[in-house]
Amino acid sequence: MLWTASIVCFIAALLITPVVKRFAIAVGAVDSPDARKVHVRIMPRLGGLAIYIAFMIGYFILQPSSPYATHILVGGFVIILTGAFDDRFQLNARLKLMGQIVAAVIVLNGGIRIEFINLPFDQQLFLGWWSVPLTFLWVIGITNAVNLIDGLDGLAAGVSSIVLLTLISLAVIQGNVYVTIVAILLLMSTLGFLFHNFYPAKIFMGDTGALFLGYMLGVLSLLGFKNVTLFSLAVPVILLGIPISDTLFAIVRRVLQGKPPFAPDKAHLHHRLLDLGFTMRQAVLVIYGLCAIFGMTAILFSQTNSIGALVSLIMLLIVLDILVESLGLLGERYRPLLNLLERLTSK
């Protein structure tokens, strides 16, 4: 039954996306080119609506059981409304954030939060009231992280698909049935849309899709790693490493440059790859590869002991820093590790 519903989600997204495209053009939900964007012609947005409709069709076919289901779906609907209004009317940042806050509060009221962390030697660290702000920031942060990487044809949809595939693998290992089912349905819906969204894209997912995928990834990863061990707490962070790191580097970069933390710029990971001479298709495939590496690392990280987890985390951070310095994601002057390597190799 799961695979039947999955195929239905894929076919539904495949068939509904052209309809949504015509609807987006009819209502004026289009994206015009400007100096910060890479596309050169007016493109319909609102494509995330096709992902959402296809996902909900599969969801209601299976009706997976979870005490959190209602709150997840209601929060998702709030996110879809927020994204759809933004795709059509270009809401200001405050209104968009308000929609995300409402969704996050709904999730919190449903009981989805990290309440404690299992430490070595059978000890537990109870987070107490800290569980509320940490969960809140996680949902809001991941929602926006996926939205911020949505800058090239097929990028956000492909990255989200890779993260979902990894999340499915981890959920199967842990025996988490609800997360497995929901992630599979969302993956197939996203892949059906990606058929129309990969370069050269016929439609953009817009904030409707990027915010919804970010919200669902944030909630599902949180749901899949509630009350985890100390080292396993890093698994969802590694799993979502590319969108998280790109967002954090963007904020730090803008602060160092004296700009507002959320001011738009053209120095994201995909922009830097384009500046280095990669084509749009090549840049997207490179980021896909990086996400796959992070995903495989997350799986290995979850299955190893504390020492192995620590070593793999350090190695991943070193590789990430080399990537950041090489691409200038924190500015051209930030290259401490590369300078050190150059000094060592020159001796």
Annotated binding site for Mg(2+): 147, 207
Cβ neighbourhood burial of 340 (10 Å; 0-12, 13-18, 19+)? exposed
Are 270 and 155 in contact by the 8 Å Cβ rule? The answer is yes
Alpha-carbon torsion (32, 33, 37, 39), positive or negative:
positive
- As given in the structure block, the two tokens for residue 145 are 């992280």
What is the C-alpha to C-alpha distance for residues 291 and 239, in angstroms, rounded to an integer?
A: 8
Residues 6+ apart with CB under 8 A from 295: 162, 163, 165, 166, 239
Q: With H, G, I as helix, E, B as strand and everything else as coil, classify residue 117.
A: strand
What is the C-alpha to C-alpha distance for residues 237 and 222, in angstroms, rounded to an integer?
A: 10
DSSP 12-70: HHHHHHHHHHHHHHHHT-EE---TT-S--S-EE--THHHHHHHHHHHHHHH----TTHH
Among 143, 69, 120, which residue's Cα sits nearest to residue 232?
120
> Residues marked as binding?
147, 207
Are 149 and 242 in contact by the 8 Å Cβ rule? The answer is yes
What is the C-alpha to C-alpha distance for residues 41 and 23, in angstroms, rounded to an integer?
A: 18
Q: Which residue's entry shows tokens 């199967």?
A: 172
What is the C-alpha to C-alpha distance for residues 173 and 202, in angstroms, rounded to an integer?
A: 37
- DSSP code for 229: B
In this structure, the dihedral spanned by the alpha carbons of residues 247, 248, 253 and 255, taken in order and rounded to 10 degrees, is 110
Residues 6+ apart with CB under 8 A from 47: 17, 20, 21, 24, 193, 196, 197, 203, 204, 205, 206, 208, 209
